[in-house]
């Protein structure tokens, strides 16, 4: 299905015509283009893949799957990393 | 030499990395402490600050990572965090923390034991944070814990070793190392734990929130060394009446009439 969602963004024109998926990323609703891989999501968030561990629907994803794993409608994505703690 | 799960440690001071005012201060404090193992927590990435990454501030050549499961309220959440910690760090080492009550942050003994059993099965090196309960320490040890970490006082309270009697029993009975964790608010508290025979202490808040965390880290390093040396040297026994250090014979002066001898 093709959707035109209004204002034209010249930087990402192809996305205007692609199906959108709703996901939850760290608890926040987000919309990504159909076919977006986990690697692409991290890139868009400017997160180096080796600095985080990703969990989708409570399943830990191996880093070597990031480039091929495509997000699906309703996925609950958790991007987690180490912080200071006792 | 302290050995946990076949790994030798020269330093008996473990340091937590929370609450520091900056990563630079944390780095310098860890360096001053000469600690060889630091705890870290797992949290969601702050998507507004994607560059804020503690891993870039810790030299894993010098310090071993001990990820914790802080935030876990039951065994299932702790196991989930443990698996994430292993995936994120590649280490099997884990400080198991199950704290259902945010007010006291006291550890849940039942879920801590259950999670220890599960994680040992999954080949983790489990160091459970526990209340200072000698029987629970034996149960955790039997479940395969690599060390036990009884609390001195609730996390972040700086109240010292309020649980001294129970900690002493734990130390007396344990076959695995005993690391006194939580409540250590001053170098004297750390020294006391070490004098009692604890194998190590874990300190975070007292260093991180000190006026000068780097100097406080040095003070804790010295206190832990002093306390350990004192334990190895063997403390004298306590007495309820005075025992003069100077000779009682050959004193000048006459008897006092208001003291019965």
Q: What is the pLDDT of residues B100-110, one digit of tens each?
A: 999 999 999 99
Q: Does B48 touch chain A (CB under 8 A)?
A: no
Beta bridge partners of B2: B9
Phi and psi at B40, nearest 5°, equal -140, 160
- Is B95 catalytic? The answer is yes
Number of domains in chain A: 1
Q: Which one of the listed residues B19, B95, B121, B221 is annotated catalytic? A: B95
By Cβ distance, the residue of A25, A78, A81 closest to B53 is A81
pLDDT exceeds 80 at position A13: no
Number of domains in chain B: 1
Q: Does B24 touch chain A (CB under 8 A)?
A: no
Interchain pair A80, B88: CB under 8 A:
yes
The number of CA neighbours under 13 Å toward the Cβ of A79 is: 26
Q: Does A46 touch chain B (CB under 8 A)?
A: yes
Does the ipTM surpass 0.90? no
Is B261 contained in some domain? Answer: no
pLDDT tens track for B7-64: 999 999 999 999 999 999 999 999 999 999 999 999 999 888 877 788 888 888 889 9
Is B226 contained in some domain? Answer: yes
Beta strands in chain B (DSSP E): 2-4, 7-9, 13-16, 37-44, 64-67, 93-96, 125-130, 149-150, 179-181, 200-203
pLDDT tens track for B150-173: 999 999 899 999 999 999 999 999
Q: Which of A12, A81, A61 has its CA nearest to residue B49?
A: A81
pTM of the model: 0.86
Is A1 contained in some domain? Answer: no
Check which CATH number belongs to the domain holding A47 and give it: 3.10.20.30
- For residue B22, give its domain range: 8-233
List Cα–Cα distances, A47 to A52, B24, B44, B64, B118, in angstroms. 8, 22, 12, 24, 32
């Amino acid at each position: 299905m093709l959707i035109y969602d209004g204002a034209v963004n010249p930087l990402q024109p192809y996305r205007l015509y692609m199906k959108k998926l709703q996901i939850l990323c760290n608890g926040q609703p987000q919309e990504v283009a159909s076919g977006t891989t986990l690697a692409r999501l991290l890139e868009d968030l400017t997160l180096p893949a080796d600095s985080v561990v990703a969990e989708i629907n409570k399943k830990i994803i191996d880093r070597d799957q990031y480039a091929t794993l495509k997000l699906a409608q309703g996925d609950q994505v958790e991007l987690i990393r180490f912080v200071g703690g006792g | 030499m302290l050995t946990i799960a076949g790994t030798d440690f020269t330093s008996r001071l473990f340091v937590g990395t929370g609450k520091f005012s900056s990563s630079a201060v944390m780095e310098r404090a860890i360096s001053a402490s000469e600690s060889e193992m630091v705890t870290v927590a797992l949290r969601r990435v702050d998507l507004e600050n994607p560059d804020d990454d503690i891993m870039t501030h810790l030299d894993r050549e010098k310090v071993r990572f001990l990820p914790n499961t802080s935030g876990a309220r039951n065994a299932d959440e702790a196991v989930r965090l443990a698996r994430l910690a292993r995936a994120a760090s590649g280490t099997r080492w884990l400080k198991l923390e199950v704290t259902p009550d945010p007010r006291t942050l006291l550890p849940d003994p039942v879920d801590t034991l259950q999670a220890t059993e599960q994680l040992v099965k999954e080949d983790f090196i489990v160091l459970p944070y526990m209340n200072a309960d000698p029987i629970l320490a034996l149960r955790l040890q039997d479940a395969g814990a690599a060390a036990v970490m009884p609390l001195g006082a609730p996390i972040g309270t700086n109240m010292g070793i309020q649980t001294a009697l129970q900690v002493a029993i734990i130390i007396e009975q344990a076959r695995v190392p005993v690391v006194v964790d939580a409540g250590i608010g001053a170098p004297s508290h750390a020294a006391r734990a070490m004098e009692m025979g604890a194998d190590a202490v874990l300190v975070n808040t007292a260093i991180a929130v000190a006026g000068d965390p780097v100097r406080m880290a040095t003070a804790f390093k010295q206190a832990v060394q002093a306390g350990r040396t004192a334990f190895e040297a063997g403390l004298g026994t306590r007495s309820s009446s005075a025992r003069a250090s100077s000779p009682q014979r050959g004193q000048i002066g006459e008897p006092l009439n208001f003291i019965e001898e």
